């Protein structure tokens, strides 16, 4: 009895040890290895990218453009996912960010390539080796790089992601969340194909001819044909192991000497045998192919010859028509009406030589009738005339600006008239072809009034589409462009995608311009001059206005959400009821601005200057006001809850009825800051003392004033009475 009891205890202990040492199923280890592989590649790019983003948020020193590798990668990702991306020449980053982002581009390629190399040469990546998983060919050998390329690039990732991308573009475009969801669904679904295969092999293993086996089991490698037969016979009886499992090829031992395996030979008819048996059919097919090739070549040559002949005939006709019209223009007895008809006919030719002639004629003609006719001919020529007009316009404007005709008023008036003629022609083309001028370069064009006379040219275009036009350095002073469109959806007709048509207004001059209700969203406007411009109810969301001059501009009800106004000047501007949430106003100058009821939630206002500004009833919750200057500013009834106000200057600022709860006031300067309106004591018994009463008081409950500077006794008493914290509170 004792021996049997001992044996039972020993067997129980043995089973317990075996249960504890039993490895995880192959399916679990395979999925875990796949997850670790994907994580390694993803983290190798995400970690340096995150470090680069962190370095970008703390700019110091010079700013540089992303290097070509990073810029090309950003462009490729943006074009594939059709997301809006700022061009690299307009995006400045710190050198440290440039380095981190370059590493983020290279490391995923190196890590992924190294893992694929190991998988092809050894059958296991590092995660697979850790978890005892191996990929082999049908013969039990390493798969090789070609099989791994088919397995990974085509089967595991290529086809699932392609199907997900096509479905996304056809249905839920441009929502990226749905695309990522579809990608995960199809990638995991491709792995689940193992459950529907009798050998429990995934689709990517089937097309590559590979097997996933347990690396801890011993195998005997056989010749390829015999191994395939044995693998097939053994795998038909293998059981299912789960989602990604496929039974390993359990190879049988070599048959003993003296035993033979007889198989029935298969009769295969090769192409050569078919050719020998049916030579007439082969000759007929060869003859037919040659005839088709010869006829196709002859037809192609004839089409090419006819096309070239047509082009030569068309060019000859244009040349003949051009010479005939030139003769009419140069003839002495030609009447005014004949000249006008000839000029209009020139506008229909559409040849670069004709366009240059019309522009030269516009710059030389003095009669208003002929000038109007030439302008009409240029408009008929379409947008192709704009580059010629832009060059003439810029040449005349530079001559006038250089004072070349200051000593000759007659010549100055003549050149001014010619400048106005080019301006009118450009304006007419912009009005007619608006929305179809993507990529048109009108840099440094002068469309501003050249004189202060009543007859001076003024650009007046309402509801015109300037999307895609480059006005870099252009002079558009005093232009009247209400409800104009400076951004448009591209060919996909979806906003905020890669092909959006966006104008360029960097370094442009738009002083006193009327841009009421204009759509300037995401438009680059670095260093633009918008002094005294009217931007009421304009859409400037996500616009780039770094170093811009908006002094005395009207921005009532404008939308500047997420706009960039770093080091911009808004002195004396009117921002009442405007939306500036998430805006970047770092080091901006906003002294004496009117911002009644302005929304500035989560805005970056670090080191900005708001001296004498009126921010009454403004919403500054969760904004960053550290090191900002709000001295003499009116902040009555404003919302400053949970704002970062470290080292802020609030000297003589009016904070009555402001909400300071949750704000960080470490190092803030409260010298003579108004927190309340003292109420005079009620008349009564003068021998009975009553506690002070305050009206229009700021909300300071729970606010820590221990590190606030220059607090006087009355301010401290008020803070203590209304729930604030200060070391001198009783």
Distance CA 567, CA 459 (A): 30
455: DSSP letter:
T
- 471 neighbors 437 (Cβ within 8 angstroms): no
pLDDT digits (tens, 9 = 90+) for 351-380: 788 888 888 888 888 888 888 888 898 988
pLDDT at 586 over 90: yes
**8 A C-beta contact, residue 637 and residue 654:** no
- The sign one gets for the Cα dihedral 471, 475, 477, 480 is negative
pTM of the predicted structure, to 2 decimals: 0.73
The answer to whether 620 and 598 are in contact (CB under 8 A) is no
Contact status, residue 518 vs residue 482, Cβ threshold 8 Å: yes
Predicted pLDDT at 690:
52
Task: Dump pLDDT digits (tens) for 243-290.
Answer: 334 444 444 444 433 343 444 444 445 666 777 777 777 788 888 889
The whole-number pLDDT of residue 463 equals 94
- Rounded distance, CA 144 to CA 713, Å? 82
- pLDDT for the residue numbered 17: 46
The per-residue pLDDT for 324 is 67
Over 90: is that where the pLDDT of 585 sits?
Answer: yes
Average pLDDT for 590-596:
96
Q: How confident is the model at residue 237 (pLDDT cuts 50, 70, 90)?
A: very low
Report residue 556: phi and psi, to 5°.
-65, 125
Lowest mean pLDDT among 128-132, 182-186, 246-250, 725-729: 246-250
What is the distance between the alpha carbons of residues 93 and 705, in angstroms, rounded to a whole number? 37
Which of 429 and 261 is assigned the larger pLDDT? 429
pLDDT higher than 60, residue 242: no
Residue 481: what pLDDT? 96
**Cα distance between the two ends of the chain:** 84
* CA–CA–CA angle 208, 211, 212 (5° rounding): 125
The token duo for 153 is 């690039």
The pLDDT score that the predictor gives to residue 225 is 43
**What pLDDT does 14 receive?**
55
pLDDT at 60: 56
Confidence band for 165, pLDDT divided at 50, 70 and 90: very high
Higher-pLDDT residue of 145, 94: 145
Q: What is the pLDDT at residue 233?
A: 40
Q: Among residues 691, 610, 693, which one has the least CA distance to residue 654?
A: 610
* Average confidence (pLDDT) over 176-197: 88
pLDDT score for 67:
86
Which pLDDT belongs to residue 4? Answer: 58
Spell out the domain ranges in the chain.
26-235
Residue 48 has pLDDT above 90, yes or no: yes
pLDDT greater than 90 at residue 7? no
Element (H, E) at 14: helix 2-21
Strand partners, 599: 579, 619
**pLDDT greater than 70 at residue 719:** yes
**Concatenated DSSP letters of 380-396:** HHGGGGHHHHHHHHHHH
Contact 336, 369 (CB under 8 A): yes
Is the sign of the CA dihedral 381, 384, 390, 395 positive or negative? Answer: negative
Assess whether the previous peptide bond of 590 is cis (omega < 30° from 0): no
pLDDT tens-place string over residues 494-516:
887 877 899 999 999 999 999 99
Percent of the chain with pLDDT over 90: 49
Question: What are residue 627's phi and psi, to 5 degrees?
Answer: 60, 15
Query: Once rounded to an integer, what is the mean pLDDT over residues 103-117?
Result: 94
Cα–Cα distance measured from residue 462 to residue 518, given in angstroms and rounded to the nearest whole number: 10
Tokens standing for residue 116: 């694929």
Beta bridge partners of residue 574, listed in sequence order = 554, 594
Per-residue confidence (pLDDT) for residue 238, from 0 to 100: 37
Residues 112, 32: Cα–Cα separation, whole Å: 17
Q: Average pLDDT of 656-670?
A: 95
User: Cα-flanking dihedrals φ and ψ of residue 446, to 5°?
Assistant: -110, 105
- Taking the C-alpha atoms of residue 83 and residue 89, their distance in angstroms, rounded to an integer, is 18
**pLDDT of 136 over the 80 cut:** yes
| Contacts of 588 by beta carbon, 8 Å cutoff, 6+ apart | 565, 566, 567, 568, 569, 570, 605, 608, 609
Q: What is the mean pLDDT of residues 327-338?
A: 67
Provide Rg for the chain, Cα atoms.
39
Mean of per-residue pLDDT scores for the chain: 83
| Partner residues linked to 589 by β-bridges | 569, 609
The Cα–Cα gap between 643 and 663 comes to 5
């Amino acid at each position: 009895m004792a021996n049997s009891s001992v044996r039972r205890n020993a067997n129980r202990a043995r089973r317990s040890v075996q249960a504890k040492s039993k490895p995880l199923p192959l399916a679990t280890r395979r999925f875990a290895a796949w997850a670790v592989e994907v994580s390694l590649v993803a983290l190798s790019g995400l970690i340096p990218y995150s470090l680069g983003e962190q370095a970008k948020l703390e700019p110091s020193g010079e700013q540089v453009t992303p290097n070509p590798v990073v810029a090309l990668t950003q462009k490729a990702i943006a074009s594939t996912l059709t997301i809006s991306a700022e061009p690299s020449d307009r995006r400045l980053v710190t050198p440290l960010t440039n380095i981190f982002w370059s590493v983020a581009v290279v490391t995923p390629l190196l890590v992924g390539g190294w893992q694929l190399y190991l998988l092809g040469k050894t059958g296991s990546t590092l995660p697979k080796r850790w978890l005892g998983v191996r990929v082999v060919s049908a013969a039990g050998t390493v798969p090789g790089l070609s099989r791994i390329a088919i397995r990974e690039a085509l089967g595991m990732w290529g086809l699932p992601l392609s199907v997900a991308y096509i479905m996304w573009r056809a249905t839920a475009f441009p929502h990226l969340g749905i695309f990522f969801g579809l990608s995960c669904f199809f990638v995991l679904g491709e792995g689940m194909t193992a459950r529907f295969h009798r050998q429990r092999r995934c689709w990517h293993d089937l097309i590559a001819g590979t097997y996933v086996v347990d690396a801890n089991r011993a195998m005997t490698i056989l010749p390829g044909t015999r191994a395939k037969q044995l693998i097939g016979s053994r795998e038909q009886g293998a059981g299912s192991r789960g989602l990604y499992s496929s039974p390993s090829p359990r190879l049988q031992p070599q048959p003993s000497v003296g035993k033979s395996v007889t198989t029935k030979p298969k009769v295969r008819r090769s192409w050569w045998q078919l050719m020998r048996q049916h030579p007439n059919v082969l000759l007929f097919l060869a003859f037919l192919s040659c005839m088709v090739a010869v006829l196709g070549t002859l037809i192609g040559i004839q089409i090419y010859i006819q096309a070239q002949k047509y082009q030569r005939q068309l060019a000859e006709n244009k040349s003949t028509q051009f010479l005939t019209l030139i003769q009419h223009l140069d003839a002495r007895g030609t009447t005014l009406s004949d000249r006008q008809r000839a000029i209009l006919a020139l506008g229909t030719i559409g040849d670069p030589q004709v366009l240059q002639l019309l522009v030269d004629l516009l710059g030389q003609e003095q009669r208003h009738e002929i000038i109007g006719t030439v302008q009409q001919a240029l408009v008929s020529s379409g947008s192709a005339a704009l580059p010629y007009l832009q060059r003439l316009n810029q040449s005349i404007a530079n001559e006038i600006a250089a004072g070349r005709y200051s000593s000759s008023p007659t010549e100055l008036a003549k050149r001014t008239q010619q400048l106005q003629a080019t301006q009118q022609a450009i304006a007419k083309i912009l009005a007619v072809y608006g929305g179809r001028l993507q990529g048109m370069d009108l840099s440094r064009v002068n469309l501003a009034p050249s004189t202060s006379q009543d007859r001076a040219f003024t650009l007046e275009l309402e509801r015109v589409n300037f999307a895609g036009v480059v006005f870099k350095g252009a002079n558009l002073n005093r232009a009247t462009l209400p409800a104009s469109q400076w951004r448009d959806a591209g060919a996909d007709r979806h906003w905020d995608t890669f092909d959006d048509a966006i104008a360029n207004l960097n370094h442009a001059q738009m002083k006193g311009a009327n841009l009421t209700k204009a759509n300037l969203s995401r438009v680059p406007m670095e260093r633009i001059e918008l002094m005294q411009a009217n931007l009421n109810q304009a859409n400037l969301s996500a616009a780039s206005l770094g170093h811009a001059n908006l002094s005395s501009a009207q921005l009532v009800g404008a939308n500047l959400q997420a706009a960039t106004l770093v080091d911009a000047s808004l002195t004396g501007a009117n921002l009442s009821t405007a939306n500036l949430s998430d805006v970047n106003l770092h080091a901006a100058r906003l002294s004496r601005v009117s911002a009644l009821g302005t929304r500035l939630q989560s805005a970056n206002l670090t080191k900005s200057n708001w001296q004498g500004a009126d921010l009454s009833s403004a919403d500054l919750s969760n904004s960053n006001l550290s090191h900002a200057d709000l001295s003499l500013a009116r902040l009555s009834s404003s919302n400053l809850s949970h704002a970062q106000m470290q080292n802020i200057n609030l000297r003589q600022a009016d904070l009555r009825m402001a909400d300071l709860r949750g704000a960080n006031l470490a190092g803030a300067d409260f010298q003579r800051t108004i927190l309340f309106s003292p109420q005079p004591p009620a008349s009564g018994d003068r021998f009975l003392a009553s506690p002070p009463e305050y009206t229009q008081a700021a909300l300071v409950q729970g606010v820590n004033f221990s590190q606030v500077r220059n607090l006087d006794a009355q301010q401290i008493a008020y803070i203590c009475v209304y729930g604030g914290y200060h070391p001198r509170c009783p």
